[in-house]
Structure 1
Amino acid sequence: MDIFDQLKSAASAEWSSYVDHDFVRQMGAGTLPEAAFRTYLVQDYLFLIQFARAWALAAYKSRTPADIRAAQAGLAAILDETELHVRLCARWGLSREDIESAPEHQATVAYTRYVLDCGAAGDLLELHAALAPCVIGYAEIGRALAPNGVAALGDHPYREWIGEYAGDGYQQVASQARKHLDELAARTMTERRFVELTGVFATASRLEADFWQMGLDAQPR
């Protein structure tokens, strides 16, 4: 197993609470209330702004050109991802300015600042362990929600979102992030370090589950 699979196995309860969350299940079934998805989408846009900062921090923490390029690619992918949110929000008459002026939910603050703190206080490997549940996890969720390909989703209400993360472009982003995480681990991994990284990975996964729950808890407007 690569380091990502090892972390998933060591933090299996937290990982399952994230990828098998009821929000994900309802989205896959097409029964997720629009209000829940809309709340999630706006908050996820704000979330991605902070994650873009985390990728910029990864570039700062890097000591090799290859690591800097990996951070650059991650940052570019995050900024591209925000455009999906803008397109989807436009369907409800929400402009980019509307989204960016929305207040951050507590779950958004908790998760993003945790990742930024991991990056500020720790090294590059710790930062990537904190980023991994989001970056790589969304690719796994996308594949799980489109097992027969995006075309088979037909007129599924969340086809565009699922297609973004199940598509080849994002799958490649996640694959590269996974490979880079493994390369970083190969440089400095120890038994003690693995225990520490498992804690980081587990916390980030739990915060991802809290982020889904925030959407489900949204009140219809």
Structure 2
Amino acid sequence: MTTLFDRLRDGAAEDWHAYFAHPFVDGLAHGTLPEAAFRHYLVQDYLFLIHFARAYGLAVVKADDLAAMRAATATLDALINHEMKLHVDFAAGWGISPEEMEQAPEAPECMAYTRYVLDRGLAGDVLDLKVALAPCVVGYREIAQAIAARPDYVADGNPYAPWVAMYAGAEYAAVADAAVAELDRLAAARLTEARLPALTRTFAEACRLEAGFWEMGWQAGQGDKPPRFWSKLFRKRG
């Protein structure tokens, strides 16, 4: 069965690939990602989760039936009371405290993606919002499982192997599966073929912003090297 997520990913193949195959991902797979890059990513990802919790709060407001309200509420509860605690515990292993993350300035790339998601939710309906969220919620599962299956994946001695295991594991897979199913449930009531191109553009934009989030972390580990990724990413839109 082809899901709405499958159709969106296929329709935004180029932007999905830029996100899925970013050098940051290769660094996670090989264990070669500079520590500074991962530490910067961890701090910004915590701030990212705060805004994603707000997005799921908006999903409750935008929902037009109890099933959608319950789904959004369950995810909001999981984000605030479970995933953010896991993130704090994980960051502690890298010597990063909750106070350090909460007080860190928000990077432009974090602002760009999280505010885009909120904008799509405010301007559109709950399906627009969930499509904008999907590259993150489902994409992390897809990326982590692909890393774990790579023949060049270095698990032994890889400081990023716990990150891969967390997002490739069964617990997070259930979260991703629920998000895919929720997209299909919403699509059954709201999707038309005429609407699909706009949703695909939203998905593609979210993938570009996710790739930009990787790039933010990547550049933090590159010293004084000038960034090249954004100009390439947006060249086709210039």
TM-score band, normalised by shorter chain: over 0.9
Q: Distance in 2 between matches of 1:83 and 1:36?
A: 22
Q: Who is 2:76 aligned against?
A: 75
Match in the other structure for 1:196: 198
Conserved in 2, the CA contact under 8 Å of 1:77 and 1:173? Answer: no
Residue matched to 2:234: none
Q: SS at the partner of 2:220?
A: coil
The structural deviation recorded for 1:93 is 3.1
How high is the TM-score relative to the length of structure 2?
0.87
Offset of residue 74 of structure 1: 1.7
**Cα distance, 1:41 vs structure 2:** 0.6
Q: Provide Cα deviations, 1:84-121, integer angstroms capped at 9, x if missing partner.
A: 32123223432111110000000000000000011111
**Which digits, 9 at most, give the CA deviation of each residue in 1:165-205, with x for residues without a partner?**
11111100000100010111111211221011011000000
Describe the SS at the equivalent of 1:198: helix
Corresponding residue for 1:4?
5
Aligned equivalents of 1:72, 1:184: Cα separation in 2 = 16
CA distance in 1, matches of 2:169, 2:24: 20
Specify which of 173, 179, 195 is matched with residue 175 of structure 2. 173
Residue 60 of structure 1 deviates from its aligned partner by: 1.1
State which drifts further: 155-164 or 195-204: 155-164
CA RMSD of aligned residues (A): 1.5
**Superposed, which structure 2 residues align to 1:1-221 within 5 Å?**
1-79=2-80, 80-147=82-149, 153-219=155-221
Count of residue correspondences: 217
Output the CA distance in 2 between the equivalents of 1:185 and 1:94: 40
1:162/1:77 Cα in 2 relative to 1: closer, same or farther (>3 Å)?
farther
Deviation at 1:153, TM superposition (A): 3.0
Higher mean alpha-carbon deviation, 183-192 vs 54-63, is at 183-192
Q: Aligned residues: percent identity? A: 52
Secondary structure of the corresponding residue to residue 217 of structure 1: helix
CA-CA distance at 1:26 after TM superposition: 1.0
CA distance in 2, matches of 1:76, 1:18: 27
CA distance in structure 2 between the partners assigned to 1:119 and 1:17 by the alignment: 24
2:85, 2:206 → 1: CA distance? 24
| Unmatched tracts of structure 2, length 5 or more | 224-238
Q: 1:128 offset after TM fit, Å?
A: 0.4
The one-letter code sitting in structure 1 at the alignment partner of 2:16 is W
Unaligned runs of 5+ in 1: none
TM-score by length of 1: 0.94
Distance 1:71 1:57 in 2: 9
**Counterpart of 1:164 in structure 2: which amino acid?**
M
Tell me the secondary structure at the aligned position of residue 192 of structure 1. coil
One-letter amino acid matched to 1:88: F
Paired residue secondary structure (1:133): helix
Give the Cα–Cα distance (whole angstroms) in 2 for the partners of residues 26 and 98 of structure 1.
Answer: 24
